[in-house]
Amino acid sequence: MRIATAFAIVAMLALLAGCGSSDQATTSGPADRAVPTKAEVRSDWERDPSCQRPRGASRWGCSVGAYRCLGVVTDRGWSVSCAKPGRSIAFTVRPG
């Protein structure tokens, strides 16, 4: 019984987390024609003063256009994930 319960929990977590990569995920439709690229969102994130890491913070967030971005400190730099309904973008930034 415990194995079945554990399996059900793992399956639910997998469904909630979803499958994906750091590549751009897109939806289809006319609105996609004006969707910024990953490079444009990253560039806007790096330039926006509200997206700068607060002193001593290991996690922070900001808005870049229609995206809501969350940054996390990792051993490779800052891992940033930005999302809006139907689309997500992820990238890593080395602190400068």
Identify the band that residue 34 occupies on the pLDDT scale cut at 50, 70 and 90.
Answer: confident
- Say what the pLDDT of residue 5 is: 56
Are 68 and 90 a contacting pair, CB within 8 Å?
no
In a domain, 26, yes or no: yes
| Average per-residue pLDDT for the chain | 78
- Say what the pLDDT of residue 1 is: 55
Number of domains in the chain: 1
Is the predicted pLDDT of residue 33 greater than 50, yes or no? yes
Are 10 and 33 a contacting pair, CB within 8 Å?
no
Q: pTM of the predicted model, to two decimals?
A: 0.62
In a domain, 61, yes or no: yes
Sheet holding 67-74, edge to edge: 59-64, 67-74, 77-84, 87-93
In a domain, 10, yes or no: no
CB atoms under 10 Å from CB of 32, counted, come to 11
In a domain, 48, yes or no: yes
Identify the band that residue 94 occupies on the pLDDT scale cut at 50, 70 and 90.
Answer: confident
The residue range of the domain holding 85 is: 21-93
Is the predicted pLDDT of residue 31 greater than 60, yes or no? no
**Nearest Cα to Cα of residue 69 among 87, 96, 55:** 87
